[in-house]
């Protein structure tokens, strides 16, 4: 009996090597369900992970709102001179500030995802014993980071813009504050981007950054040999 024939005996019911990958599955719906459970059961840890991106995006959306509001105020004040120049300088400052806040938020997520992975070594080892492929582990952690990222960013965007609305309502009035949402906040690629679009975009950016930040921790978790993962005590 050749090595391959024997192998097929052990891996009975599998035709060829390619078949095996499809024989072990984790449906997205199940992964999502597991992730949701994980987030709610470990609410404290989840809140810490999400708070990094929450703060980053809250800051970004506050800065964006501020930019729209100042432009609106400048437009109302027609006699103001040197508007273009000021706007350009403001733009550069916004990009720098927002960029820094996102970098800080991303580093925060990497850190808390690494801790979350370390806490769950044993669970990861157990899942591998039950037949989980490395990709399942990666999928679960990325899903978790993505969900927390989107949720944290959405709440952050609301909080950041909300605070700025309160700040500006005295100067612009209710109508002015509402108008700020359709006033350009940033100038990108030759076109003005209205505030609401840039805030929606920042929520997406928050989600994407969270997933990117979780890549390394998730990969590290998945690559662990099960025996080493099971040995760890937490």
Partner 1 sequence: MSVYEYIVRTKDLSKIYTLGGTEVRALDDVALDIRRGEYVSIMGPSGSGKSTLFNMIGGLDKPSKGTVFIDEVDMAQLTASELAFLRCRKIGYIFQTFNLIPVMTALENVTLPMVFAGLATDDALDKGMELLKIVGLGERHDHKPTELSGGQQQRVAIARAFANDPAIILADEPTGNLDLKTGKEIITLLKRMNEEKKVTVISATHDLKMIDVSDRVVWIRDGKIERIEEREDIELQVGQMEGEDQ
- Decide if residue 127 touches partner 1 (CB under 8 A): yes
Stretch that binds partner 1, among 86-94, 124-132, 158-166, 173-181 (CB under 8 A): 124-132
Q: Is 132 in the site for partner 1 (CB under 8 A)?
A: yes
Among 129, 182, 200, 204, binds partner 1 (CB under 8 A): 129
Q: Tell the residue number behind the tokens 């920042």, with chain if given.
A: 202
Rounded to a whole number of angstroms, the minimum distance from the CB of residue 10 to partner 1 is 5
Q: Is 93 near partner 1 (CB under 8 A)?
A: no
The answer to whether 20 contacts partner 1 (rule: CB under 8 A) is yes
101 binds partner 1 (CB under 8 A): no
Nearer to partner 1, 43 or 81 (CB): 43
Instruction: Report the site for partner 1 in 195-234 (rule: CB under 8 A).
Output: 225-228, 230
Is 118 among the residues that bind partner 1 (CB under 8 A)? no
> Which residues bind to partner 1, rule: CB under 8 A?
1, 3, 6-7, 9-11, 14, 17, 20-21, 23-27, 30, 34, 37-38, 41-42, 122-123, 125-134, 136, 225-228, 230
């Amino acid at each position: 009996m050749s090595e391959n024939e024997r192998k097929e005996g052990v891996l009975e019911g599998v035709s060829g090597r390619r078949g095996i990958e499809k024989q072990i599955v984790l449906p997205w719906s199940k992964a999502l369900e597991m992730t949701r459970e994980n987030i709610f059961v470990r609410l404290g840890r989840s809140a810490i992970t999400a708070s990094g991106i929450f703060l980053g995006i809250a800051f970004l959306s506050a800065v964006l709102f501020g930019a729209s509001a100042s432009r609106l105020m400048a437009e109302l004040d027609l006699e103001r001179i040197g508007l273009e120049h000021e706007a350009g300088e403001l733009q550069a400052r916004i990009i720098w500030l927002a960029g820094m806040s996102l970098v800080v938020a991303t580093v925060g997520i990497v850190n808390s995802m690494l801790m979350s992975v370390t806490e769950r070594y044993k669970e990861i080892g157990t899942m591998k014993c039950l037949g989980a492929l490395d990709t399942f582990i990666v999928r679960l952690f990325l899903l978790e980071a993505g969900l927390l990222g989107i949720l944290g960013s959405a709440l952050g965007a609301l909080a950041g813009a909300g605070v700025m609305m309160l700040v500006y309502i005295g100067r612009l009035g209710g109508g002015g504050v509402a108008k700020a949402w359709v006033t350009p906040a940033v100038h990108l690629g030759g076109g003005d981007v209205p505030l609401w679009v840039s805030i929606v975009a920042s929520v997406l950016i928050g989600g994407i950054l969270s997933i990117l930040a979780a890549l390394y921790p998730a990969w590290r978790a998945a690559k662990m040999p099960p025996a080493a993962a099971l040995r760890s005590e937490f």
